[in-house]
Structure 1
Amino acid sequence: MAPLTCKGFSACGLAAGIKKNGDLDLGLLVSDRPARVAAVFTKNRVQAAPVTLDRERVKSGVARALIANAGNANCANGPQGQDAARAMAAAVARALHLPEAQVLVASTGVIGVPFPIDLVDAAVPALAGRLDENGVPDLARAIMTTDTRPKTASREGSAGGRSYRIVAVAKGAGMIRPDMATMLCFACTDAEIAVSDLQASLGQSVNGSFNRITIDGDTSTNDTVILMANGGSGAKIESDADRAAFQRLLDDLCMDLARQMVKDGEGVTKVVDLTVRGAHSDRDARAVADTIAHSPLVKTAFFGEDANWGRIIAAAGRAGVMLDPDRLDLFFDDIQMVENGTGCGPGAEEKATRALKKPEFSVTLDLNLGAGTATMLTCDFSLDYVNINADYRS
């Protein structure tokens, strides 16, 4: 992995006292010059105060800083929550002498608990004093909730003879499903790129990564992906070839982070690459893949290392798309379980059960109807998932 530094960007994190356990819970990312900004947000109709604030601020296409906290979602707090989100941004603006409108905010944690803005106000001066070009790891730790480890990624590219980097942090372990999977992700690049291109690239990368994962089928009120580009490297993304190269790097970086999320999912013991192919269209393939990936019965079978292929084809059959049950082929890794809609027998199930004992494996369903295809990254449901979420607020 490329170094977790990006020219012109600094970051940090500290413990402001928002989390009960005293872990890092407040982070900051700052560009030393105005940066172009793009963002993608949750589609949940219940949206946290930071989301509504950032939606307006990113319309300018310019940002200088982002402050984020863990331990409190600042959601469903009414006008006080909106005031708190603006106050977080204002505190950073004062500390760093920045335009307040160019400071973005993000929060993650428990919904419906009054936001402790006094703790943030008190911590921001020290937070600003900790900014460091090597501070990305602390930022990654400061946004963790039920995550067991920080999630970071970086990539290097070049344009016009100058090299550039893309660096990102993310959090997410529960309330994860496609539709802006429940998460925070903050990325920065020292390349120069037009706002319209930046937004298009981010949207494409999100759709191919964070919107293709599921842990538990829930979607959060706080999902936010923000990408800032400050041009600090001198590399300019202008030609079609440079834009395509940038897209490939961003796609790869986002998929890396998406996989890290699923592997660190709440109670996850199995990570499953699911492919549906042979559908009439990509849309139909995606509908089938979504239904299988979200099925509690399929996911519990994965946990039990049970090659119960009937649950998979049953999920496919209720996806609301055309299929012929007598043409279905199903594989666990390269082991064929179903051929032309009929099980391949106890020998195949025995081999497939061995595949299911691995921490990562693949499932492929071929509808044998057309060229449509879709992929998803899913996981199992374990007893630990229930335990984690039964006492999340405790």
Structure 2
Amino acid sequence: MRLPKEIIVPGFRAAGTHCGIKRSGAPDLALVVSDRPCVSAAVFTRNKVAAAPVVWGKALRTRSRLRGIVVNSGNANACTGAAGIEAVRRTSRAAGEALGLPADSLLIGSTGVIGVPLPVEKIVAALPGLAARLSPKGIPGAGEAIRTTDAFAKRGIRTVRAGGRAITIGAIAKGAGMIAPNMGTMLAYAFTDAALTPADARLLLREAADASFNRIVVDGDTSTNDTAALFANGACGLSPLRGKDLDAFRKALTSLLLDLALMIVRDGEGATRVVRLSVTGARSDADAAKAARAAASSPLVKTAVYGADLNWGRVIAALGRAGIAVDPMKISMRFAGETLLRRGMRPDPAAQRRAAPKIRKEAYAIDVDLGLGNGSDHVYFSDLTEKYVRINSGYRS
């Protein structure tokens, strides 16, 4: 996996810095700003315990002309009551003053420990200097500043041809733990010089998020802070994309966000393997989704993947508790292309011998056919290792 060293999106400037939230001295404050108003869209966590910046962001979502983001890491500003909302307001005002913009021009994000008051005075003090260091080459630095337990940065870039011109999409993300479908403790921000209508921006982001961030599982927990946002500033000079140009942009955005989502799964706080789990033959797509997520979230399935154990029994047990129609005598299952279960009957040992070395690889597929209908879905998940326990048993300390 090679990360692009540079991500330059025309009309956007960015920077990251250490403002004092993280005791390690690592970067913990990011700022990305467009030189012109953007058509924007955002999707947020479905966790009913939403962090203060998510509450703020949902209120701003009705505005389509935002200018960028301010994001801190090391503190989630979640479960912090009225003081948390006021901290978001202070951050927004301070950023606006530093940039000469209205206070409600920026989307605010936070990630880190829940239930600890946000030291907003450190953010406010750092923003003028951060604004002064904004650079067209600063997006990777901003990406570094939003990391928490991430072992590596997540960023990417795509170029699309439209109207005879090159359009750029750049994106940064963070996430390693507390990751589950419906987004997990992950932040993702995409920036483009394309021109989009507000309706298209909302639709494109929702479709891309559903095809990427909503299909990954690390530990089955859904965070209080999930946010994915798209900012399109139209600096390419074209009219809003439509037709084939819009379709090309859609494919590029979805591909980019899926790459970031898979980086999150590969990071996975100690993860060593990534599995694509597909379910077909369900009575409906909704049933297939429930089945896939039940198996992908199972600690027993995930530890079997870590141990390279061909334990299809753990998968079928998870399917049985998914709350959907299941007939064990109709289920077929393949590990890394080898059939280990055919309509409820175990195949000969040769299939297991062929599969054994394949599931020791860093990535492979588990394919389940429920044999009941035409419904299908898929997710990506990581294994569960001792390192995950070590990281999360001492997260606050």
Identity of aligned residues (%): 45
Aligned pairs for 1:253-332 within 5 A:
253-332=256-335
User: In the aligned structure 2, how far is the partner of 1:92 from the partner of 1:162?
Assistant: 33
Q: CA RMSD in A?
A: 1.3
Return 5+ residue gaps in structure 2 as ranges: none
Aligned pairs for 1:166-315 within 5 A:
166-315=169-318
What letter matches 2:192 in structure 1?
T
Match of 1:387 in 2: 390
Match of 2:12 in 1: 9
1:182 positional shift: 2.1
Confirm or deny: 8 A CA contact 2:15 2:138 kept in the other structure.
Answer: yes
Confirm or deny: 8 A CA contact 1:168 1:187 kept in the other structure.
Answer: yes
1:94 equivalenced with 2:97 (yes/no): yes
1:340 positional shift: 1.5
User: In the aligned structure 2, how far is the partner of 1:281 from the partner of 1:242?
Assistant: 33
Q: TM-score, normalised by structure 1?
A: 0.97
Confirm or deny: 8 A CA contact 1:162 1:234 kept in the other structure.
Answer: no
User: In the aligned structure 2, how far is the partner of 1:181 from the partner of 1:70?
Assistant: 15
Of 154, 163, 174, which aligns to 1:160? 163
Confirm or deny: 8 A CA contact 2:111 2:185 kept in the other structure.
Answer: no
For residues 237 and 369 of structure 1, do their structure 2 counterparts lie closer, same or farther at Cα, with a shift above 3 Å needed?
Answer: farther
What letter matches 1:327 in structure 2?
K
1:81 equivalenced with 2:84 (yes/no): yes
1:203 positional shift: 0.5
Q: TM-score, normalised by structure 2?
A: 0.97
What letter matches 1:381 in structure 2?
L
What letter matches 2:382 in structure 1?
C
What letter matches 2:86 in structure 1?
D
Confirm or deny: 8 A CA contact 1:335 1:351 kept in the other structure.
Answer: yes
Where 1:192 maps in the other structure, the secondary structure is: coil
User: In the aligned structure 1, how far is the partner of 2:129 from the partner of 2:40?
Assistant: 26
1:136 positional shift: 0.9
1:163 positional shift: 1.7
User: In the aligned structure 2, how far is the partner of 1:237 from the partner of 1:153?
Assistant: 23
Deviations 1:178-213, CA, capped at 9 Å, x for gaps: 012220011111000001110011011111110000
1:260 positional shift: 0.3
What letter matches 1:104 in structure 2?
L
User: In the aligned structure 2, how far is the partner of 1:239 from the partner of 1:33?
Assistant: 21
Of 319, 334, 355, which aligns to 2:358? 355
Deviations 1:38-57, CA, capped at 9 Å, x for gaps: 00001111111111111111
What letter matches 2:212 in structure 1?
S
1:340 equivalenced with 2:343 (yes/no): yes
User: In the aligned structure 1, how far is the partner of 2:131 from the partner of 2:357?
Assistant: 52
Confirm or deny: 8 A CA contact 1:160 1:235 kept in the other structure.
Answer: yes
User: In the aligned structure 1, how far is the partner of 2:106 from the partner of 2:369?
Assistant: 48
Where 2:66 maps in the other structure, the secondary structure is: strand
Match of 2:126 in 1: 123
Match of 1:140 in 2: 143
1:162 positional shift: 2.1
246-255 or 321-330, larger mean C-alpha shift: 321-330
1:93 positional shift: 0.6
What letter matches 2:339 in structure 1?
Q
Match of 2:27 in 1: 24
User: In the aligned structure 2, how far is the partner of 1:249 from the partner of 1:19?
Assistant: 35
User: In the aligned structure 1, how far is the partner of 2:344 from the partner of 2:387?
Assistant: 34
What letter matches 2:344 in structure 1?
G
Confirm or deny: 8 A CA contact 1:237 1:246 kept in the other structure.
Answer: no
1:25 positional shift: 0.5
What letter matches 2:176 in structure 1?
A
Deviations 1:10-56, CA, capped at 9 Å, x for gaps: 11101111101000000000000111110000111111111111111
Where 1:182 maps in the other structure, the secondary structure is: coil
User: In the aligned structure 2, how far is the partner of 1:282 from the partner of 1:54?
Assistant: 31
Confirm or deny: 8 A CA contact 1:277 1:372 kept in the other structure.
Answer: yes
User: In the aligned structure 2, how far is the partner of 1:181 from the partner of 1:49?
Assistant: 16
1:281 positional shift: 2.0
User: In the aligned structure 1, how far is the partner of 2:362 from the partner of 2:172?
Assistant: 24
User: In the aligned structure 2, how far is the partner of 1:229 from the partner of 1:33?
Assistant: 10
Confirm or deny: 8 A CA contact 1:159 1:237 kept in the other structure.
Answer: no
Confirm or deny: 8 A CA contact 1:177 1:218 kept in the other structure.
Answer: yes
1:48 equivalenced with 2:86 (yes/no): no
User: In the aligned structure 2, how far is the partner of 1:174 from the partner of 1:323?
Assistant: 30
Confirm or deny: 8 A CA contact 1:164 1:235 kept in the other structure.
Answer: no
Return 5+ residue gaps in structure 1 as ranges: none
Deviations 1:321-380, CA, capped at 9 Å, x for gaps: 223222221111111111121111333223322122111111101122332211100111
342-351 or 183-192, larger mean C-alpha shift: 342-351
Confirm or deny: 8 A CA contact 1:159 1:236 kept in the other structure.
Answer: no
Confirm or deny: 8 A CA contact 2:330 2:371 kept in the other structure.
Answer: yes
Match of 1:368 in 2: 371
Deviations 1:52-71, CA, capped at 9 Å, x for gaps: 11111121111112110100
